[in-house]
Structure 1
Amino acid sequence: MRTSCSSIALGIVCAPIACCYLVFASCFCPGHLRQQEPEEKKRFERRQRMAPRPLPVRPAQRTLTIPVPEKSMCLEPRRGRTLDQSQSRLIGLPLELRQMIYRCVLGDSTMHMILKEERLGHLKCKAPSAVECRLGFNGRTLSRECCWGTFDFANIWTPMNGVKESTDGNIIPFLSTCRQIYSESINFLYSTNTFSFSDLDCLRYFSCTTLPNRFNMIQNLDIEWCMSWPIYDNIAQQLLLNNPALYPPYDETTWEETWRIVANMTNLKFIRVSLLYVDGFRDAACEAKMLAPLRKVTIPAKFEVHVSWSGEEVTDAPFQLIRPILPEPVSDDESL
């Protein structure tokens, strides 16, 4: 009897608090307090249907890769053949000069990685650097339409007006010229470019559709992401009516998996992360949970994390957390 009375008393005390919270949250995030919007589910389902297929466990030998010598112990038959290219003026140059040409054609740029139907693509940045590439917000996520082109509601690249727009930075034809050029130049594509990701799924798909030795050549990453409420806010998620609270890739699982992948990239030298969160985190504990996966990334010599909200300084992390600079308050004397 006492237990029943205690439960009733607890319900009477907690009910007004829960009601007040729901009313307060509905004023700021009304879209999350009703049943999950159909568009969010449709977006998730379309992205799942169009996801690129990962490489097989033992990927076949690339036809453009020069085979190992015949004296190798490998017994598998080799595909393709390598022709003599000595008549080529490019191949006739010393290797050092050829490498300079390869780097000029393929490297030292920013590659925006994008989702396409059932595969990935990349667009060569039109700005001098990733920092100077204008970053906007299209109402759903971060956007660089000046470089990217047209995207549908699921953030999948689509041709504009039915015309096949050029992607892949016009570098695929060069790599496909011959096997010697491919084998001598492919490393520059991965090791000298900055790979820019504005979609967490892009980075995850890129890691499982690229040969591991090529993926681990990447030295520079630029990641932009728009975080969705109520990520890492367990109290808010329990009070919401929709299930799940967040669809991938906006959920905690996708976020943590992304940083597990980054933490295992052995040749990283620089990472720049830009995070947008409209309202910021409710308290420091929620932000600490969000930043916890980033603490496992210890290889890069320079690791910057730019956030759009204010908060306390973080000094014990392998990254530099950069918050927006708030204007100094104007005193009464200065206002006069």
Structure 2
Amino acid sequence: MKKSPDIRPDFKLCRPDPSFPSDGPQLKRPSYTRMAVYYVMFYGIFIPLVSPILLVAGINSFIEQKRRDREHDKDPQTILCRERRRKEERREKLFRKRRVAHKPRSLPKRRLRSLSLLQEGRGSLLSKFKPKTLKDTVVKPSFLLAKLPPDVRTQIWEYVLGGYAISLYRGPGRLYHLLHDDEDDDDDLKEQEQDLKQPDFSRKVGKTNLLALAKVCRQVYIEAISILYTKNTFLLYQNDTLFDLKNTTLPFRFSSIRSLKLHWQFRNQETFERDISGTLSRHVSTPWDVQTWKSACTILSQLPALENLSVNIQGPFLFSQNVDDMLEELRVVNNVKGEFRVKAPWSRIVHLARDDGMDWRLEHKGFPFRVRRPEVVFPDLDEGVWLFGEDALGPSGEEPYSYSRDLEGYLYML
């Protein structure tokens, strides 16, 4: 039997094999010379002709863009926005520096000497002290104070130390205060805010005027110091002040506060914005982020003696839903025995769309507080009320920057 020819299955680029059947198609070797000619024509003729055209077009586009940039830089609105941005950066840098430098020192875990009188009801603690320590702890009755009954002395202490609105703000390494008449108005202490920016030193203000009586002797301190926390209203205008007050006050003194007015600011309109996964924005710096706000609400919920609480919220907020999310965090503050008011700002979208149904939605949310809104539907502006005291002055001594002064530029950017 005749053997069939060996047919190779691979198709290599080679010359025809005599043993291969001639009835099929034959693959030809590519011409490398022709390919070299194509490369020379493309890179040697076409590219040199097209490259200058593309280069000239790119140069013209660059020159035109530079011309537009120069015209844009000369625009009054651009100059206004650039100046505002520079002031913002300078103010932010100043605030960061002073926030670290002016942070009050926390109370030590244990004092070397107790200011308050040890009570005998605490057990046999008095017997554990040495005679010298016991001498410093026990109060000797004053002959002058013994002439007055306790209820009369209490009325005197309340008249001197009570009935004030005490504005607290940060100073170099400690908290300072200013005194105001405790008048509960509906303007949310605008007058007090102005006093903090431009204090009137003809009035009795400062850290020694209020505590001078309590420093007379230990008996007066023991009888009068509680009035400072129970008969006054504390005004906190900085986001850090609530935490500073808690860290620099004895826990049982801080828990005895009955009236508090808190001003809280969110400086970024994207603070309560969420991404696709529902996660809050994380690029907002402290103390204007959501986590700091939650911590503040937790502290407020831990004040058992709180009778009156007023929270003034300052934006900006972009959407009405952001305001709702912010107010939801205040639900944990359900320990207020008296009036609980919250002043919430208008969002920017509400201002543009005139959405008047915002108040109705807030009233039917079931919040443990009464929500108040500004009478004028206007986007909330940064007035710089978070900078008071020495922080209210810029690097060259000027007042803090305010958006309201550049209202035209602000609306231009909306």
The question of 1:297 aligning with 2:349 is answered no
Q: CA deviation at 1:39?
A: 3.6
Task: Check conservation: 1:115, 1:202, Cα contact below 8 A.
Answer: yes
Match of 1:111 among 152, 156, 166: 166
Q: CA deviation at 1:106?
A: 0.8
Q: CA RMSD in A?
A: 3.6
Task: Check conservation: 2:262, 2:311, Cα contact below 8 A.
Answer: yes
Q: CA deviation at 1:185?
A: 1.1
Report the TM-score, using the length of structure 2 for normalisation.
Answer: 0.58
Query: SS of 2:98's equivalent?
Result: helix
Q: Partners of 1:281 and 1:37 in 2: how far apart?
A: 21
Q: Partners of 1:99 and 1:172 in 2: how far apart?
A: 16
The question of 1:144 aligning with 2:182 is answered no
Aligned sequence identity (%): 26
Q: CA deviation at 1:120?
A: 0.6
Kindly provide the amino acid, as one letter, of the partner of residue 251 in structure 1.
D
Q: Partners of 1:81 and 1:207 in 2: how far apart?
A: 25
Q: CA deviation at 1:61?
A: 5.8
Alpha carbons of 1:124 and 1:189: their partners in 2 closer, same or farther (altered >3 Å)? same
Gaps in structure 2 of 5+ consecutive residues = 1-77, 276-280, 351-357, 378-414
Gaps in structure 1 of 5+ consecutive residues = 1-25, 137-142, 151-158, 237-242, 328-336
Q: CA deviation at 1:109?
A: 1.3
Task: Check conservation: 2:188, 2:312, Cα contact below 8 A.
Answer: no
Q: What's the CA shift string for 1:81-136, capped at 9, x where partnerless?
A: 55644421x44211011111111111121111111110012211146446577517
Q: Size of the alignment, in residue pairs?
A: 275
Query: SS of 1:300's equivalent?
Result: coil
Query: SS of 1:144's equivalent?
Result: helix
Kindly provide the amino acid, as one letter, of the partner of residue 40 in structure 1.
E
The answer for the alignment partner of 1:87 in structure 2 is: 143
Q: What's the CA shift string for 1:164-215, capped at 9, x where partnerless?
A: x951261222101111111111111101111110012111110011000000
Q: How is 1:181-220 mapped onto 2 (pairs within 5 angstroms)?
A: 181-220=220-259
The question of 1:251 aligning with 2:289 is answered yes
Alpha carbons of 1:292 and 1:31: their partners in 2 closer, same or farther (altered >3 Å)? farther
Match of 1:325 among 375, 385, 402: 375
Instruction: Identify the structure with the greater helix proportion.
Output: 2
Q: How is 1:135-284 mapped onto 2 (pairs within 5 angstroms)?
A: 135=190, 144-147=193-196, 149=198, 166-168=205-207, 170-234=209-273, 245-277=283-315, 280-284=316-320
Q: Partners of 1:132 and 1:179 in 2: how far apart?
A: 40
Alpha carbons of 1:134 and 1:213: their partners in 2 closer, same or farther (altered >3 Å)? closer
Task: Check conservation: 1:226, 1:275, Cα contact below 8 A.
Answer: yes
Task: Check conservation: 1:112, 1:196, Cα contact below 8 A.
Answer: yes
Kindly provide the amino acid, as one letter, of the partner of residue 198 in structure 1.
Y
Q: Partners of 1:132 and 1:229 in 2: how far apart?
A: 24
Ranked by relative contact order (alpha carbons within 8 Å, sequence separation 6 or more), the top structure is 1
Query: SS of 2:167's equivalent?
Result: strand
The answer for the alignment partner of 2:124 in structure 1 is: 72
Q: Partners of 2:376 and 2:159 in 1: how far apart?
A: 41
Alpha carbons of 1:33 and 1:256: their partners in 2 closer, same or farther (altered >3 Å)? farther
Q: Partners of 1:33 and 1:148 in 2: how far apart?
A: 22
Greater CA deviation, 221-230 or 79-88?
Answer: 79-88
The answer for the alignment partner of 1:102 in structure 2 is: 157
Task: Check conservation: 2:168, 2:235, Cα contact below 8 A.
Answer: yes
Q: Partners of 2:197 and 2:318 in 1: how far apart?
A: 33
Kindly provide the amino acid, as one letter, of the partner of residue 317 in structure 1.
F
Alpha carbons of 1:235 and 1:86: their partners in 2 closer, same or farther (altered >3 Å)? closer
Alpha carbons of 1:283 and 1:166: their partners in 2 closer, same or farther (altered >3 Å)? closer
Q: Partners of 2:371 and 2:83 in 1: how far apart?
A: 30
